[in-house]
Amino acid sequence: MKFGGTSVGCARSIRQVVQIVRQQLDRRPVVVVSAHAGVTDALLALARTAPTGAADTDAIAERHRAILRELGLPLDLLDPLLLEVRDLARGLRLVGAASRKALDLMASYGERCSARTVAAALQQAGVPASAVDAFTAGLRTDSAFGRARPLPDDGRIRTHLQRVVGVPVVTGFIAADEQGNITTLGRNGSDYSAALFGIAVDAEEIQIWKDVDGVRTADPRLVPGALPIRSMTFAEVCELASFGSKVLHPAAMVPAMQRGIALRVRSTLEPESPGTAIERDVPGPRPPVRAIAHRATAVLVTVTSQRLQPQHTFLAKVFGELAELQCDVGPVAVAEAAVTFAVDPGFADAVQTAMAGLGEVVLETGQAVVGVVGEAAALARGGAAELLTTLAAAGIRVRCAGQGALGGTFACVVAAEALPRTIALLHERFFRG
């Protein structure tokens, strides 16, 4: 049972988590938690500003103590960890810079604190529980700080968790490399952790508890009338995730896909609701369009080659540089001597620098990506055309668009300011029509 940042964001939601876990005690749950909402951002900001001497660790400490206070838990429960945060910030000021390794270490305190608080809240409610740091439980990764990849588990995680007293409340997001340095699985990585622990204990089900009633036909923050989807295939959710829907981390699906463990997204706000089941195959007739995903901010990059080299050589170099940067792109459009693709704004500067040697580089900021996820054949038969016609009729300009040859997603780039209208129109067209 994995609970995300919002689900453990305040005392009230943690009490709700306690109730939800209590109801499933007979299934012997392993609980995986994120940091309280906003804490990872705050810790990373702290680590980035600490070298300049501007860091203030009091606000983070107070946020945690306020939750403890409201839950009626001992106020000094987290003091050892909060002192480490203060010492680390001081250390970074002395060193004058925060390495990726230091950023991971700093970020790790969010989950380490929240696991202790949630375990204490369970105990307080009479449910035996113990906080477990993922690195102590044996979750190991490579040393790619900030985006570490898990190493194979030899059964040690299961053995460790079996020895824990009561319900193990494990930290999501974090692990350790083979030297014992703390690593993170990348932002929003707790879903992935849940899947890894689910595999490690050979779970009968992996439940991802969020503040939404499962996966919906669009982000409910943009489309309040988005409809709940009761079942989806792994492939559909992977498409949704890779085209920007934050609702489930794409890597969270891989272990479940490989082992066939049931995966379900459920809502802490509506615990009675079944949420969304994510399965290998979903039998029965399916609507051609399943959901609309978006990435709210993107930069469109166009690289034009000097035509002194064959197109394949040019493209190989462009994608080689992207691989170096570990930068994912999409959609992509290729012309004879130019390539255009959308990237996350965080990569824009690095991409510009890397591409500078390959040709003329033009960056357009203020873009957004919209992806319509559906059945590949239906999209090809007319869904994609319908999307383009709908947007053209509304005067929304589509910049770069495409559907993968196998793909169940048709993705396009629009101006960020047109995003809310684009999504509302497409939702209306595909789900209300």
Q: Which residues bind ligand ASP (CB under 6 A)?
A: 4-5, 34-35, 40, 110, 172-173, 187-190
Site string for ligand ADP, 155-194 (x = CB under 6 A): ---------------------------------x------
Minimum distance from CB of 14 to ligand ADP (Å)?
13
Minimum distance from CB of 84 to ligand ASP (Å)?
17
Minimum distance from CB of 227 to ligand ADP (Å)?
10
Residue of 13, 183, 188, 242 interacting with Mg ion (CB under 5 A):
188
Minimum distance from CB of 257 to ligand ASP (Å)?
20
SS3 assignment, position 187: coil
Contact (CB, 8 A) for 207 and 1: yes
SS3 assignment, position 17: helix
Residue 13, interface with Mg ion (CB under 5 A)?
Answer: no
307 makes contact, choosing from Mg ion, ligand ASP, ligand ADP, none, with CB < 5 to 8 Å by partner type, with none
Residue of 216, 290, 317, 429 interacting with ligand ADP (CB under 6 A):
216
Residue 6, interface with ligand ADP (CB under 6 A)?
Answer: yes
- Residue closer to ligand ADP by CB (options 32, 318) is 32
Strand extents, DSSP E, 135-202: 167-171, 174-176, 182-184
Residue 246, interface with ligand ADP (CB under 6 A)?
Answer: yes
The residues near 185 (Cβ < 8 Å, ≥ 6 apart) are: 141, 147, 148, 150, 173, 174, 175, 192, 193, 251
Alpha-helix residue ranges (DSSP H) falling in 96-208: 100-124, 156-163, 190-200
Q: Please state whether beta strands 174-176 and 182-184 pair in parallel, antiparallel, or not at all (unpaired).
A: antiparallel
Closest CA to 148 of 94, 114, 122, 187: 187
Q: Please give the Cα distance from 302 to 315 (Å, whole number).
A: 12
Q: Which single residue brings its beta carbon nearest to Mg ion?
A: 188
Q: Please give the Cα distance from 356 to 362 (Å, whole number).
A: 10
Residue ranges binding ligand ADP (CB under 6 A): 4-7, 34, 188, 210-212, 215-216, 218-221, 245-247, 291
